[in-house]
Amino acid sequence: MKKVLSGIQPSGRLTLGNYIGAMRNFVELQHQAECFFMVVDLHAITVPQEPAALREQSEAVAALFIAAGIDPAKANVFMQSHVRAHAELGWLLTTLSYMGELERMTQFKDKSAGKDAIGAGLFVYPSLMAADILLYNADLVPVGDDQKQHLELTRDLAGRFNHRFGETFTIPEPYIPKVGARIMSLDDASKKMSKSNPNQGSFIALLDTPDVIRKKISRAVTDSGREVRFDTAEKPEVSNLISIYAQCSGLTVAEVEARYEGQGYGPFKKDLAEQVVGVLEPIQQRYNDIRASGEIGKLLKEGAEKASAVADATLRQVKERMGFLLP
């Protein structure tokens, strides 16, 4: 059986981009593979976090995993910090990572741009991400397009380790959706939709109320034309909205275009809002039920126990191959 692993940071509220680019695929893959899905809290602290907010968001992301349809009986859902092997293998892989390759990571360049105090954790972030993946010998890693480069580095590190210390790690493949791997901002189609954007109108949060969703979509930037046509060069904003429509409705891009031929943006945006609400409302209801049930702590504890068993075995093998004396 194939193994799948992915993670989402508990830094801010999750967006429709996270759902379409990543989480939806988690739900689909749980039926075909042995899955590990985690809330990557150790990654979240590579930029400053308020303790109370980190605690709240960590629980919220775990609850959203379940609300989105991940079944904890099928997939392991856990907090990264509950499985100690992540931090430990992260360190071991940091020693195998080159400064030059870490400096080339676009996420590091983006997040450190213009700052004069840059945490070292932000720099070695990709080595920790490699540890996350390699501890479970994951074959597939469902992520959005922006994580492709980190996956490449993970593959390089796995190969480097195998070459130096003997065949140990599976070389993972990214699993990136064909449509929706990069949902763009509603106010600027040159930037990806991101929960860290200070403009609330630029993203749809998974927990936005239906009215807020309708308002955000009605205000989404479009060009001055009226043709609902997918053309990322000429009509990037409308193309982004068509992608979202296609992902939420299950229609193809061509079917969406055909449905709104000659109708202009008004009816298209109105229906798009209802499509998004139709996807998010049931998730929100399940989310509220799960938070109210108080069950998250127990689920995460069970998930971490199962994940630790796998991760600890890999870590032991890695340490033995690297020449550590084992206790």
User: Catalytic residue numbers?
Assistant: 111, 192, 195
Asked whether position 18 contacts ligand AMP by CB under 6 A, the answer is yes
For the CA atoms of 210, 216, 217, 221, the dihedral, rounded to the nearest 10 degrees, stands at: 180
193 binds, among ligand AMP, ligand TRP, none (CB under 5 to 8 A by kind): ligand AMP
Asked whether position 174 contacts ligand AMP by CB under 6 A, the answer is no
Name the 3-class secondary structure at 155: helix
Residue 207 half-sphere exposure toward CB, CA atoms < 13 A: 15
Site for ligand TRP in 20-59 (CB under 6 A): 40, 43
Residue 216 Rama label (left phi>0; alpha psi -120 to 50; beta): alpha
249 binds, among ligand TRP, ligand AMP, none (CB under 5 to 8 A by kind): none
Asked whether position 8 contacts ligand AMP by CB under 6 A, the answer is yes
Of these, 4, 5, 27, 299, which contacts ligand TRP (CB under 6 A)? 5
Estimate to the nearest angstrom the gap between the alpha carbon of 124 and the chain centroid: 18
Tell me how far apart the alpha carbons of residues 40 and 58 are, in angstroms, rounded to a whole number. Answer: 8
Instruction: Output the smallest distance, CB 317 to ligand AMP, in A.
Output: 28
Exposure of 262 by Cβ count < 10 A (0-12 exposed, 13-18 middle, 19+ buried)? exposed
Asked whether position 143 contacts ligand TRP by CB under 6 A, the answer is yes
- Which CB, 115 or 298, lies closer to ligand AMP? 115
Asked whether position 192 contacts ligand AMP by CB under 6 A, the answer is yes
In the numeric block, the tokens 């061509």 are attached to: 254
Asked whether position 17 contacts ligand AMP by CB under 6 A, the answer is yes
- Which CB, 20 or 228, lies closer to ligand AMP? 20
Q: What is the DSSP string of 209-222?
A: -HHHHHHHHHH---
Residue whose C-beta lies closest to ligand AMP: 21
Q: 256: which 2 tokens?
A: 């969406």
150 binds, among ligand AMP, ligand TRP, none (CB under 5 to 8 A by kind): ligand TRP
Instruction: Output the smallest distance, CB 326 to ligand TRP, in A.
Output: 26
Asked whether position 9 contacts ligand TRP by CB under 6 A, the answer is yes
Residue 79 sits at φ, ψ, to 5 deg, of -90, 135
Of these, 62, 63, 105, 133, which contacts ligand TRP (CB under 6 A)? 133
Among 218, 217, 242, which residue's Cα sits nearest to residue 231? 242
Binding region for ligand TRP (CB under 6 A): 5-7, 9, 40, 43, 129, 132-133, 141, 143, 147, 150
